């Protein structure tokens, strides 16, 4: 006998926001979100102050799992070069999924066009954490200019996810050699 625990209205709203905002964009309507979650608008507004807060909470909820999936485990014994390349191999794998529409933490900021929006703030933090990972690896790996290398890596990351997300490039044979070239130039063995 299995016991199924039905997700709470809050969880269902967070799921709906994560799925629909990604598929359709941040302009997805409150009605559509409530309908997908099977939650009344009244209940939604008891749980979240606004659609913006719901979007922010859904990004926040997914951030830890996303980062764990994207980054190598701490002290996995591999080189800093290898640890950086791991991130880009993950992006390349993600880009091969037909439903992939690019990095949600980039898309949300581009779509909202408002750095002070609660969802933009969450998304920016996720990106800053990724930049911080690159910066730390670059420094520990002995890069000549760790700041420059970290900015280059996240630029490639965002460019790759944007282009794969719009279907302009499948990233095959592109990202790894590009990052490899930048790591070589930075003196990261």
Interface residues with a copy of itself (CB under 8 A) are 23-25, 27, 101-102, 106-107, 109-113, 115, 120, 124, 127, 148, 151-152, 154-160, 162-163, 165-169, 173-174, 177-178, 181-182, 184-185
Shortest distance in whole angstroms from residue 21 CB to a copy of itself: 11
Q: Of the two residues 82 and 124, which places its CB atom closer to a copy of itself in the complex?
A: 124
In 3-state terms, what secondary structure has residue 116? coil
CB of 10 to a copy of itself, least distance (A): 26
Q: Which is nearer to a copy of itself, 141 or 165 (CB)?
A: 165
> Would you say 90 or 178 has its CB closer to a copy of itself?
178
Burial class (CB in 10 A: 0-12, 13-18, 19+), 148: middle
Q: Nearest distance from residue 36's CB to a copy of itself, in Å?
A: 17
Dihedral of the alpha carbons of 175, 181, 186, 189, in degrees to the nearest 10: 90
27 vs 77, beta carbon nearer a copy of itself: 27
Taking alpha carbons only, the member of 99, 108, 114 closest to residue 23 is: 99
Please report how close the Cβ of residue 59 comes to a copy of itself at its closest, in angstroms.
Answer: 14
In the chain, which ranges are continuous DSSP H helix?
A: 9-24, 30-37, 41-47, 51-70, 80-95, 104-112, 118-140, 146-165, 175-186
Instruction: Give burial (CB, 10 Å; 0-12/13-18/19+) of 8.
Output: exposed
Would you say 36 or 110 has its CB closer to a copy of itself? 110
Min. distance of Cβ 185 from a copy of itself in angstroms?
A: 4
Cβ-based nearer residue to a copy of itself, 37 or 164: 164
For residues 126 and 130, give the distance between their C-alpha atoms in angstroms, rounded to a whole number. 6
Distance of closest approach, residue 44 Cβ to a copy of itself, in angstroms:
20
d(CA 143, CA 80): 10
């Amino acid at each position: 006998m299995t016991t199924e625990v039905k997700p709470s209205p809050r969880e269902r709203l967070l799921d709906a926001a994560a799925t629909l905002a990604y598929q359709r964009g941040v302009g997805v309507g409150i009605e559509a979100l409530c309908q997908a979650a099977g939650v009344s608008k009244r209940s939604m507004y008891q749980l979240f102050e606004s659609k913006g807060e719901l979007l922010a909470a859904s990004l926040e909820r997914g951030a830890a799992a996303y980062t764990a999936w994207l980054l190598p485990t701490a002290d996995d014994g591999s080189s800093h070069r290898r640890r950086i390349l791991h991130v880009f191999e993950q992006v390349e794998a993600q880009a091969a999924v037909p439903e992939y529409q690019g990095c949600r933490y980039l898309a949300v900021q581009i779509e909202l066009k408002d750095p002070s929006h609660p969802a933009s703030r969450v998304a920016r933090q996720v990106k800053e954490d990724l930049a911080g990972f690159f910066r730390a690896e670059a420094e520990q790996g002995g890069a000549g200019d760790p700041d420059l290398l970290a900015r280059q890596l996240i630029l490639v990351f965002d460019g790759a996810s944007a282009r794969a997300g719009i279907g302009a490039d499948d990233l095959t044979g592109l990202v790894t050699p590009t990052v490899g070239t930048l790591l070589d130039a930075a003196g990261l063995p």
